[in-house]
Amino acid sequence: MQNNIRALLLANQLTMTELAERAGIRLTLLSRYTVGSSRPLMHNATRIADALGVKVVDVWPEYDKAMDELAVRRSETWRNKRIERERERKALAEYSKFKAERQEAEDTRKDNVVPLSLDLHAGDFHLRGGMASLGDLENQAWCLDKAQRLHRWLVEHCAWGVYRHLRQIMADENRLAENRRSTQ
C-alpha cells in the first residue's frame, strides 16, 4: 500500500529510529510499513500518524479504502468458514447416522449367526441365508472355500438338525444361482 512515511520523515527531520521510538513500535515493523511490504493495523497507523503530527490519511492516502476492502475480505472469509463449519457439522451428523445404521445392521446379523456351542438343538434357532456380494457368489473358488469351511465347522459343532437345515438352504441357493445363469 502506498505511503508517505519517507516524505514526512524528511519534512519533520526525523530518522526512522526516532519515529519508531516516538510511535512506540519496533523499527523492523516500521521498516516494513515504509517499504510497503506490510500494512499497519489501525492502532499502529494511528501511533505513527500521531508521532508525525498528521492524520492517518496523510500517511497512507488509501488507508480507508484498503481497510474497507480488508473488512469485506474478512467478512467473506468468516462467511466461508461458517459455511464450511456447517458442512462439516452436517457431514459429521450424516456419518454418525450411517455409523448407527451400520451398527444396527451388524447387531441384526449377529442374531443370525450360528452360536459356537457343542450342545445345539435344531429347534433353538432358525437359519437364514448369508450375505455376500454377487461377485463373490459367482466366484467359484470363493464359494468352494466358504462351503468347505462351513461344512467342517458344521460337522464339528452342530446338531444334525441344524446341519440338515443348512444343507437345504445351500441346495436352494444353488438352484437360484443356476436359474440366474440360465436366464442370462
* Spatial contact of 162 and 127, defined as CB atoms under 8 Å apart: yes
Looking at domain 5-61, what is its CATH homologous superfamily?
lambda repressor-like DNA-binding domains (1.10.260.40)
Write out the three cell numbers for 111.
442374531
Give per-residue pLDDT as tens, 118-156.
454 545 444 445 566 777 777 888 878 877 887 777 777
According to the per-residue pLDDT averaged within each range, which of 6-15, 67-76, 113-122, 154-163 is highest? 6-15
Contact 25, 48 (CB under 8 A): yes
- Does the pLDDT value for residue 39 go beyond 70? yes
**CA nearest to 166, candidates 105, 113, 116, 118:** 113
The arithmetic mean of pLDDT across residues 69-75, rounded, is 82
Pick the residue with more confidence: 132 or 35? 35
Instruction: Please tell me the predicted confidence (pLDDT) of residue 72.
Output: 83
Residue 132, SS3 per DSSP = coil
Give 13's Cβ-side CA count (13 Å radius). 0
Q: Give residue 160's pLDDT band: very low, low, confident or very high (50, 70, 90).
A: low
Whether residue 37 contacts residue 55, with contact meaning beta carbons closer than 8 Å, is answered with no
Separation of alpha carbons 53 and 6, rounded Å:
14
Instruction: With CA atoms as reference, report the closest residue to 129 among 114, 119, 144, 141.
Output: 114
pLDDT at 95: 83
User: What are the sequence ranges of the domains in the chain?
Assistant: 5-61, 122-183
Query: In degrees rounded to 5, what are phi and psi of residue 74?
Result: -65, -40
Query: pLDDT by residue (tens digit) across 102-113?
Result: 777 666 554 444
For a pLDDT cut of 70, what percent of the chain falls above it? 79
